[in-house]
Amino acid sequence: MCRDFSQNSSPKIMSKTGLILLIQRLAMMMMMIVISAESPQPPFSCDPSPYPFCNKTLPIPQRAHDVVSRLTLDEKVLQLVNGAPEIPRLGISAYEWWSEGLHGVSRHGKGVRFNGTINASTMFPQVILTAASFDSRLWYRIGQAIGREARAMYNEGQARGLTFWAPNINILRDPRWGRGQETPGEDPLVVGDYSVSYVRGIQGDTFEGGKLYPNSHHLQASACCKHFVANDLDNWKTANRYNFDANITQQDLADTYLPPFQKCVQQGQASGIMCAYNRVNGVPNCADYNLLTKTARQAWAFKGYIASDCDAVAIMHDVQGYSKLPEDAVASVLKAGMDVNCGSYLKKYTKSAVEMNKLTEAEIDRALENLFTIRMRLGLFNGNPKTGMYGNLGPKQVCSKEHHALALEAARNGIVLLKNSPDILPLSKTETTSIAVIGPNGNTTDTLLGNYEGVACKNITILQALQNYVKNTQYHQGCVDFVNCTSIEIDGAVGIAKVVDFVILVMCLDQSQEREKHDRLELGLPGKQEDLVLAAARAAKKPVLLVLVCGGPVDVSFAKSDEKVGSILWAGYPGEAGGTALAEIIFGDHNPGGRLPMTWYPKEFSNVAMTDMRMRPDPSSGYPGRTHRFYNGKTVYEFGYGLSYSNYSYKFVSGTQNKIFMNPNQASHNNTPSGEVLVSGVGVELCEKVKFMVVVGVQNHGQASNHTVLLFATWDGKDSNGHLIKQLVGFQRVSLGAMERGEVEFIVKPCEHFSRANEDGLMVMEDGSHSLVVGDEEYIIYIFTLDMTKKSAQSQPTRGTTAAPKPRNTQRPEAPSVKNTKPSSTIDTSEYDQQILQVIDVNILYAAEEDASVMVEAQAMILNSEKHEVGSGQTVEEDRSIHRRGRPLSVQKLRQLLTRIHVFNGEMRKDSQITSVILRGS
C-alpha cells in the first residue's frame, strides 16, 4: 500500500494503475543509472538553458558574443588555456583543447582516453608514407575515418574535446628533421593539397569542399594547421625549436613556407591554426600580428581559433627573452591574434596584465568569442551530442573492417620500390620455400606506427606477415641493440642467410633516431647496419631485398650500387597493416606505385647547416639549395622517384593552348623588370580565364596495375637566379589493366604554376617559355605579358631561349588560331595587333629555329613592313636595328604583309603556304 502524504491532500490509497506507473518509472530510472554507469555521457553544455547562447536558432557569432558577455574576468581568464574548466552557474561544461589525430586518434595529448568501451583506434601509416601515394582522395578518406573515430570516442564519453591538432604541414626542408615523418613531404603543392584533403575529411566536409561554411554548426571534429610557420628544426647541435630564430627571406616565405597554410585555411577551411615556438626574423610566431592577424585572419579570411604550441608563450619570456615580463608575453600574443594557450601562462598572468594596463578586457573577449564559436560549431552547446547529427557514431565505427582495409590500402599505395634488379621482385609463391628475415625492424610492431601514435586495433609484424606466405621463415635480429646497431651478431645472421632461398633485411630507423625534440646528425644507416647488410648479402644465394623502415630519407648509395642487393623498398612507418602490405608487395599480390615525396640526399648534405633556411642555392658560397625545386647537388633518389612491376610510357594527347597572353593592369608593371608582371596585377578574373587542360596518355607495358603520374613545370630561361628548377603542377593516381592505355587530365593554372616569388615576396610572371614535363615528354608553353610601355622600343629578349632543341622528347602541340587567342573585348585593337605579331614571331621561331638570320630578317620584315621590301639590300644587322624600332601594325596591314614574305627556311613558298605555316590555320 502506498500513500500520498503531499500537502493539502488527505491520505488515500494509490490505485492499481498508479502503482504500475510508479514501478515502471522506478525501473526506467534504474536502467538509466545502469546505462549511465556503463556508458558515460559526453560532456556538453545547454541541457537545457534559458540563455540566448543555448538558442540553436540564433547565429553562432551572436551566441558566442552572448556567452562571453556573461563571464566575469576571472572566468574569462580560466578559459584561455587548453584545459578550460566548467562554469557551473551557466551550465557550461569543461573542455580540453589538446587532442592529437595525426594518422589516427592518438594517445598523446590530454583529450582522449582508451580506458573504456573503446580501447584502440585505427593506426594509418605515418603521414610521410601516405603522402607517397599521391592520392588526394585516399588522404580525404583517412581524414574522414579519423574524424568518425574521434567523434565516436567523444560520444562514448572517452574524450573531453574534439579539437585535434593536426595536420603538420611544415615542409620537409631538411632530411635530418626528426618530425619530417609527420609531414606530407617537401613540396608545397603536395603539402597544401594533403592539408585540404585531410581537413575536409576530419571536419566532415565533402571531398570537393563547400558543405561547411565558416560558421556552420556541423563540424564532425576540428582540424588545426600546424606549426605556423617555418617550424622544421627540433634539436640540432646548439639550436632547438625554443631558441631558434629562423632568418627567412620574403621570397622564400612567399613561395615555400606560407602556401601550404594558405591552402589549409582557404581551401580546406580549417577551423584551427597552431602558432609555432620559433621566431621568424626576430619575432616569435605567436606574437606576430602580421602573421596571425594581417595574413591569416585578414588576407586569408581565417575564421577559426589560434592555439599556441605547448608553453610557447612562456618560452617567449623564459627562453627567448623577447618579453621583459610574463605579462608582456601574455599581452603580445593576445594582441597579435592568438586565442588559447597550451600551457598555464595565460591562466597565471592575464589578469595581472589587465591590471597593469598592458591588455584590455576587450582583447580577451575577442579571443574567447573565437573559442566558444568553435565549441558551438562542434555542436557542444546544443544539448547532448548523442542526439545530434553525429550521434549515431559509436564503438562500431572504431576499428571497423572498413577502416582497417583503408589502412592496408594506404600502406600498399605508399610503399616505394627504389631498386629492382631483373627477376628479383616479386618473389614466386611456389618456388620460394624458405626465407630469412634479418634486421632490428623485422619483428616489431611499435616501430611500424611512427610517432603521435595511438593504440592500434590490430598488430602484425613484418615477420608474421611473411610467414603467412612462407612457413619456413627464420628470423635474426642482427643488431644487438636494435636500430642503434653499435654491435652486430654477424655469425648468426650470416648463418641463416646461407641456407635459405631468399634473404630480406629489414633495417633503418625508429623513434630513438628521429622524433620530436630529436633531429639526426647523419644521413647514413645507424651504427653498423651497413656492415650487417653487406655481410648478409655476400652470404646469400641470391641478391637480397633491403626494406627501409624509416620516416626521413637515408643515404643507401652503397646498396643502390651493389649487385648483391637486388631490390630496395622504402616502407616509411606503414601503420597497423604495414606488415601485411609489405608481404603482399614482395610476393606480387600488389604492385608498388608509391613515389618519394622528398629528395634523398647524399651523406655530404650533413655538412649544410640545418639552421640555414634558404631554399635557393648560392653559387658564390657553394650552398646547394633545398628540395627538388631548388637543390642543384647530387641525389641518392630524386623527389617523385619510384619504380613499378610494370613499365609505363606517356604522351601529351592534347593541350588547348601553348601560348598565354597576359594583359594585366598597368600598375602591375610598376617597379618590375621588363617582361615581368605581378600576379596580383593580373587579377583573379584573367588568371581564371587563362587556365587550361592538358591530357596525358598513359600506356601500361606490363601486367601490373596501380601507377602515379606526376606533371612538372620547368623554366626554360637562361637566368636561373631565383627561379625554380622545376615545380610540381599536379599528380594523378591511375589504375590500368595489363597492356592497357588510359588518359589523365591536369588543369594548368599559369598564375600559380608558371609564377615565382621575387625578392620582395611578390608573385610574378615573366615572358618566355616554360615546359610541362611528364616522364621524358615535354610540352612547351609561351608566356607573353604584353607590357606595351616597356616593349614598344625594344625587342623581346626571351625568345631566343627556345631555339635550341631539348634533350627530352619534345612535342610541339598545334598552336591555336589567332582568333582563338583573342582575349575579351577589354583589350584594345592595338594590343590585339601586338598579340598577333607575337603569335607570328613564335611560329617563325618554330619554322626557322635552325637559321637565326632568317628568323631575324622575318621579324624585321613583319615589324617594319612600311619601310622594308624583300631584297632591298638591307643587312641582317640593319634588320635588327629596324626591329628595335618596330611598332604595332593593324590587323589589315599585317595580313597584307603576309603576301610579301618570301623567306622561309631559305626557300621560296607560295603565299598561301606561308600563311598556313606561320599562322597555323589562322
- Please give the positions annotated as active site: 309
Angle at the Cα of 200 (from 194 to 204), degrees rounded to 5?
Answer: 150
Instruction: Give a three-class secondary structure readout of 867-892.
Output: CCCCCCCCCHHHHHHHHHCCCCCCHH
Residue 759's CB: how many other CB atoms inside 10 A? 10
Say if CB 379 and CB 218 are below 8 A apart.
Answer: yes
Say if CB 317 and CB 358 are below 8 A apart.
Answer: no
Cα(167)–Cα(272) distance, integer angstroms: 10
**Residue 90 CA: distances (Å) to CA of 41, 85, 381:** 19, 12, 12
Cα(32)–Cα(21) distance, integer angstroms: 17
Q: Which residue has the cell 583589350?
A: 827
Bridge partners for 727 per DSSP: 713
Residue 355's CB: how many other CB atoms inside 10 A? 11
183 residue type, one letter: T
The kind and range of the H/E element at 648 are strand 648-655
Cα(597)–Cα(641) distance, integer angstroms: 8
- Which of 454-466 are b and which e, b meaning 16 or more Cβ less than 10 Å from the residue's Cβ? bbbbbbbbbbbbb
Q: Which residues contact 714 (CB under 8 A, 6 or more apart)?
A: 725, 726, 727, 770, 771, 773
Q: Which residues contact 605 (CB under 8 A, 6 or more apart)?
A: 175, 523, 624, 633
Cα(13)–Cα(7) distance, integer angstroms: 16
Angle at the Cα of 790 (from 788 to 794), degrees rounded to 5?
Answer: 100
70 residue type, one letter: R
Q: Which residue has the cell 560520444?
A: 155
Cα(449)–Cα(461) distance, integer angstroms: 11
The kind and range of the H/E element at 21 are helix 16-38
Cα(794)–Cα(783) distance, integer angstroms: 17
- Strands 502-508 and 435-438 come out as parallel
DSSP string, 67-122: HHHT--HHHHHHTTBSEEPPBGGGTBPPEE--B--SSSS-SSBSSB--SSS---B-
